[in-house]
Amino acid sequence: MANKNLMTVDEVHGAWAIMPTPATDNASDWRASDTVDAEETARAVEGMIDAGLDGILSLGTLGECATLTRTEKRKFVATAVEAAAGRVPFFTGTTSLGTRETIEQTREAYDLGARGTMLGLPMWCAADEKTAVRFFQDVAEAVPGMAICVYANIAAFRFPFSPSFWAEVSKIPQVVMAKHGAVPALQADLAAVEGRVRLMPIEAVYLGAAQAAPEQMTAFWSSGAACGPKLAARLRDAVVAAKASGDWAAATELSDAIGKTVWPLIPGGNNFEEFNKYNIGLEKARIDAGGWMKAGPCRPPYLFVPDEYMEGARISGSGWAALDKQLSATEAA
């Protein structure tokens, strides 16, 4: 497989949506065999591009990578790639329980036209650092034309993603970006990658990261973008303007407003352990409440979320939508 048109770190910038895999109404039934809503998938991809987003990540946790069949993944990726039509990079998750299966899925996604993979570690046994680095090296060797976004979810993969890991994995040419979540470790991780990998935080903490390291922090990921993508694009533009002018007041105001919509999603406001148990259901409820995209029901077995947690998710989604509507009205006035 030729190393053609491999994406580079310099191409990673701006606001990247993380999208769910839209589900048909019967998706919670284990008997259902084709649960991908292709029409909504294409509509959402088109809408995210029209809103000015810079890239799309998919088939992570909220994308239900663990509960889709291979056939369903193929349908989703093919639909999304066709809708994107090369206008923005489309990355799809290919995480599995082992290296060989991951390589098969990554090759298939590459052949379907995905620009990259959002790739986490195999999850049956927690990996040590040598195993983790070798895993990314092997996938890169097997699919040399596929860019890699390291899915650095410490809770999901039971791996610390330490600076020494980043120092080694950043030497792999295909590793150009990372869905980064460890805010306290940001400066150490930036030093470790030496500019070879674009570390991307969530939208709610992007402002602080961009202020701390303006040259390196030029991109972020947003699951909120599935509640309405224009808000993520506004944050991107506000931070770009603040970097140019040195006046961070407007960007700070917008970031604070976005943060107020995000935090109700987390049970108790800060109980991430509970959030990680119910991530899929909470995110899908948030997105449906936002009203911009139909995420649809969860696929089994992850069907149950405590009612009090769901209420926070709905508040988060409706809050995001309300802020988007308010700002759109202000811009139109």
Q: Are the beta carbons of 241 and 220 closer than 8 angstroms?
A: no
* Segment (H or E) for 69: none
**Catalytically active residues, by annotation:** 151, 179
Could you tell me the CA-to-CA distances from 227 to 20, 184, 213, 289 in Å, in that order? 11, 27, 28, 8
Name the residue with tokens 């696929």: 299
Site of tokens 């895999």: 21
Q: Give the Cα-Cα-Cα angle 105, 106, 108 (nearest 5 degrees).
A: 65
Pairing of strands 116-119, 198-200: unpaired
Secondary structure E strands in the chain: 14-18, 55-58, 90-93, 116-119, 147-151, 175-179, 198-200, 219-222
Query: Is residue 214 helix, strand or coil?
Result: coil
Query: Alpha carbon 36 to chain centroid distance?
Result: 19
Non-local (6+) Cβ contacts of 248 within 8 A are 207, 211, 242
- From residue 98, alpha-carbon distances to 86, 103, 119, 131, 136 in Å are 30, 9, 12, 11, 12
Give the Cα separation of 115 and 99 in Å (integer).
20
Closest Cα partner for 68 from 90, 45, 46, 37? 37
